[in-house]
Structures are given as C-alpha cells and as structure tokens.
Amino acid sequence: MLNYKIEGGHLPVVICYPEPGQTLCCESGAMSWMSPNMYMDTNSGGGVKKALGRLFSGESLFMNEYTAQGSTGMIAFASRFPGSIIPYEVTPGNEIIVQKKGFLAMEKGLDLSIYFQRKLGKGFFGGEGFIMQKVSGNGLIFLEIDGHCVEYTLGAGESIIVDTGYLAAMSATCTMDIETVKGAKNIFFGGEGLFNTRVTGPGKVYIQSMPVWQIAQELIPYMPTATNGKDGGINISLGGD
C-alpha cells in the first residue's frame, strides 16, 4: 500500500512515500520535488500505441517513472491549477473515466487508454471532449480536479444533470448522454448554453466547480491586446472597464 498525504487546500500537492522498489508514474514535467534516492526513468509507458493514445487524450507523449531505491523515498506532485487532488483505488471492475488533463500521478501497474464517446455528438457538444481517458488495472491514481470537487454515488438508473464541462470523472459503470436544453427562451436567455450532460449510474461521479476553460473565458476581456501604432510601434491596451 502506498503511503501519501495531500496538503495545500485548494492549492494542493500530494506527497508520496514509496517503499524501496515501489514505482510511481506521471506525465512529463509533473514531479515537483523528491528525495535523492528516487530513480527516474523516462519511457513511452507501454509502447508507441499507448504514447499516441495519451497524446490524443491530452497528456504528454512520454511517461516518467520514479522508483525508491535503498530506503523509503519521498516524491511530490503539485496540481497545475487551483483545485483538488482526489485519490482513487482502481481494481478490475472498478475502472474510472477521466477528463483530459485529469491524470496527475499513479502507481505503476495501472493502464491509461483512450475512451471514445459512443456518439460523436456526445464528444462535440458535451464539453468533456470527444476523447477522454480510461484508467484500468490495479493500483492508486491521483486525479486533478479544477476547483472544489463534489462526489455523488448514483444507484442503478439514477441520474444527475451536469452543465457543460463540469464533469471531471465517473466510474466506468456509469453512462453519459447529451441532452438539448428544452425551450427557446431557456436556450437564448437562460445563459446555460444549448446542451447538458446526463450521467446515469450505477457508480461514482466527480463534479468540478471551476473548469479551467471557463476561467479562461472569463479572463479574455481583461487580457492585453496589441495593435500597430501610427508610428509603427506596438500599442498595448488592457481589456475590461
């Protein structure tokens, strides 16, 4: 069993303490700090096919493996965005589907693969992307969640409606469907967009309160813009009021 602790509140970091010979995997550049006895090995994480699959699902082409040598090691993985780090124990029959960029680190022995939505419309309009990631095997994985994470456990046939982009992860036993918002007035004046995501159990659902894409949209009006001046120079102006 992997020993770890999660610190930092909504600026989280997971600090792991692997035993000698125990290996942790992460995407390229995800390690924050570590003890000197952690041995690093960069590889394709299962061959060219696996590497390309990770690339299409929003992760890096190569994987880094860190193994404790001689004594208990220490290695930390910090979240890249204010939010939450969620540990999830993956076992056969207890796989999980994760949004792009949701993978932070995991024990060696787990497998990341592409998970395609069954219908093109689900990917294009659902906000979670046409390509997600499926995690299978045996071991612990740490997931990055944008903002605060709210967890629900759905029974068989029980559903929850999620606004576009707020679905961070779900059990592989859950299904996801895209629904059109009903009523022209709701569509044009409701401010919630044209589509919602319905997740149906059985299984767990992880919802994020601050999707990074939404934050990016909110910041666009305040970003500096550059224009060519009359004297050939560059003028910088700030958005907003």
Q: Has residue 195 got a pLDDT over 90?
A: no
d(CA 231, CA 241): 26
d(CA 91, CA 106): 13
Q: Quick: pLDDT tens for 75-127.
A: 999 998 899 999 999 999 999 999 878 889 999 989 888 876 655 454 454 44
Q: For the chain, what is the total number of helices (H) and then of strands (E)?
A: 4, 21
Taken in order of first residue, the domains within the chain and their CATH numbers are 3-219 (3.60.160.10)
For strand 234-237 and strand 225-228, is the pairing parallel, antiparallel, or unpaired?
A: antiparallel
d(CA 30, CA 25): 9
- C-alpha distances (whole Å) from 90 to each of 45, 84, 153 are 18, 19, 16
pLDDT given at position 101:
81
How close are the terminal C-alpha atoms of the chain, in Å?
A: 54
Q: Quick: pLDDT tens for 5-52.
A: 999 999 999 999 999 999 999 987 889 999 999 999 987 655 445 545
Q: Quick: pLDDT tens for 155-166.
A: 999 999 998 789
- C-alpha distances (whole Å) from 194 to each of 65, 123, 164, 180 are 42, 14, 9, 6
